[in-house]
């Protein structure tokens, strides 16, 4: 972590997810002060989600959890869907969002595997 400035670290967390719990534990073990956002209770809005995607440098489709029921119900396997349509689906169904996501002011990583988040700290 850059010692010159205090870096805020957020984790979009699902306490029922083992990878999410492992990532949070990894951060805490390293003494990183992290703000926990339980995204199923406090989902990101359209603007926040677009900021996360920008920091991840991935399209919204790569953030989708394809095994979740809404993925099939909403026909999200349709490759012709626009970025806006996918973002709207995630905002309205946050269970679709891959987790955990660790976000700093300038970078983000999905914690799969959990150690991947250490690249941005």
The enclosing domain of 57 has a CATH number of 3.40.30.10
Instruction: Confirm whether 111 is domain-assigned.
Output: yes
Instruction: Confirm whether 1 is domain-assigned.
Output: no
Domain limits at 27?
9-120
Instruction: Confirm whether 115 is domain-assigned.
Output: yes
pLDDT on residue 107? 96
Enzyme catalytic residues: 17
Decide if pLDDT at 92 tops 50: yes
Instruction: Confirm whether 101 is domain-assigned.
Output: yes
- For 10-37, how does the pLDDT look when each residue is reduced to its tens digit (9 = 90+)? 999 999 999 999 999 999 999 999 999 9
- What Rg value do the Cα atoms of the chain yield, rounded? 14
Q: For Cα atoms 111, 17, 21, give the angle at the middle one, nearest 5 degrees.
A: 60
Number of domains in the chain: 1
pLDDT on residue 5? 45
């Amino acid at each position: 972590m850059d010692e010159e400035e205090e870096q805020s670290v957020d984790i979009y967390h699902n306490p029922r997810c083992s990878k999410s719990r492992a990532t949070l534990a990894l951060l805490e073990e390293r003494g990183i002060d992290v703000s926990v956002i339980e995204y199923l209770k406090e989902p990101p809005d359209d603007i926040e989600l677009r900021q996360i995607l920008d920091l991840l440098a991935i399209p919204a489709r790569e953030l989708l959890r394809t095994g979740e029921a809404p993925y099939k119900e909403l026909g999200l396997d349709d490759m012709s869907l626009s970025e806006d349509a996918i973002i709207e689906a995630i905002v309205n169904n946050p269970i679709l969002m891959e987790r955990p996501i660790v976000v700093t002011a300038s970078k983000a990583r999905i914690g799969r595997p959990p150690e991947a988040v250490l690249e941005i700290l």
